[in-house]
Structure 1
Amino acid sequence: MKSILWATLTANGNYAQSSPENPPKKEALDDFAAHAKTAGNFIVGRRTFEGMRGSGGAGPFADIDIVVVSKSVKEIPGIKIVESPQEALNYLQGKGHQTALIAGGADLHNAFIGQGIIDELIFNIAPVLEGKGLNLLLDTEHYQYKDVELLDSKSLGSGVVQLHYAIS
């Protein structure tokens, strides 16, 4: 199964922290929805999922398998809850998915990267600078540096640039 990590970063490399004062760019959200629809699924951390739920309802993800990775929450109606990244991948593979889209939460992204179970990275670079933020961290026990290969780059509009990498 191919696993793709999808994230929006600021121009200075931090995770873009959405807020009412700094909402996510529509182009990035539309791109995420398109990738989720293509994959038929996405994996997300609990806090990010709670932020996505907003006012409730299925919205654009009604026909998509959503997997929440959480050790504290055991049940969300209509959503598969697992305790680890590998369990999430195993669940989606068992349902016949060929690709898993890892959607969010810096902690979740770092857990997947730390376990070496990401094949591709999609970074949407938002045209903002942010003074504080979270970063992707490599597991320094296993490696300090990791080569990636640029597969594609494109403008999504409104100053958002997408970089798509394969992990070597």
Structure 2
Amino acid sequence: MKTILWATLTANGNYARNASPEHPPKQEAFSDFLDQVKAAGNFIVGRRTFESFQAGGESPFGDVDIVVISKSVKDIPGIKVVASPQAALAYLQEKGHTTALLSGGADLHNAFLQQGLVDEILFPIAPVLEGKGYNILLNQDHYQYKDIQLLDFKSLGGGVVRLHYAIGRE
């Protein structure tokens, strides 16, 4: 199964938090996310990010398989909850998906990267600078370096540019 990590970054390279109503996600980036969800038919998300999606009211995702990874929450009505990245991928593969879209939470992204479970990365770059932010990391304990291959780049409008990379599994 191909796993694609989708994460908006700021122009200065931080993982974009968009944590407040004063600084919502750029609409062009969110529209791209919805397009990726529709194409994959699923997405994997962390519990806190999923809860932020729910705070907006009606779901914009339609009829897709949503998998929440959580160690603390065991049940969300209508949503598959699992405890690990491997369990999320196994569930989607059992459902017949050939691509998994990983979409939310720096901790979750880093867990997938550290375990070598990501094949491609989509980085919409938002035209903003952010102070202290989160980082996408291969390994939090020691320095690690990995070359990746640029597959494509695209202007999404509004100053948002999306970079598409192949990372390859370990």
Give me the TM-score of the superposition, normalised by structure 1: 0.95
Q: Secondary structure at the match of 1:164?
A: strand
Of stretches 15-24 and 94-103 in structure 1, the one that deviates more from structure 2 is 15-24
Match of 1:96 in 2: 96
> Shift in Å at residue 75 of structure 1?
0.6
> Shift in Å at residue 17 of structure 1?
1.4
The whole-number CA distance in structure 2 between the counterparts of 1:143 and 1:166 is 21
Q: Secondary structure at the match of 2:39?
A: helix
Paired residue type of 1:23: P
Match of 1:158 in 2: 158
The whole-number CA distance in structure 2 between the counterparts of 1:73 and 1:111 is 18
Structure 1 position 38 matched with structure 2 position 27: no
> Shift in Å at residue 142 of structure 1?
8.5
The verdict on how the C-alpha distance between 1:31 and 1:151 changes in structure 2, with shifts beyond 3 A counting, is: same
Question: What's the CA shift string for 1:91-149, capped at 9, x where partnerless?
Answer: 00000000000001000000000000000000000000001110011126787111100
Question: What's the CA shift string for 1:6-51, capped at 9, x where partnerless?
Answer: 0000001101111111110111111000100110000000000000
Paired residue type of 1:111: A
Q: Secondary structure at the match of 1:27?
A: helix
Match of 2:82 in 1: 82
Give me the TM-score of the superposition, normalised by structure 2: 0.94
Q: How does 1:104-115 map to 2 (within 5 A)?
A: 104-115=104-115
Q: Secondary structure at the match of 1:28?
A: helix
The whole-number CA distance in structure 1 between the counterparts of 2:49 and 2:109 is 11
Aligned residue-pair number: 167
The whole-number CA distance in structure 2 between the counterparts of 1:55 and 1:29 is 13
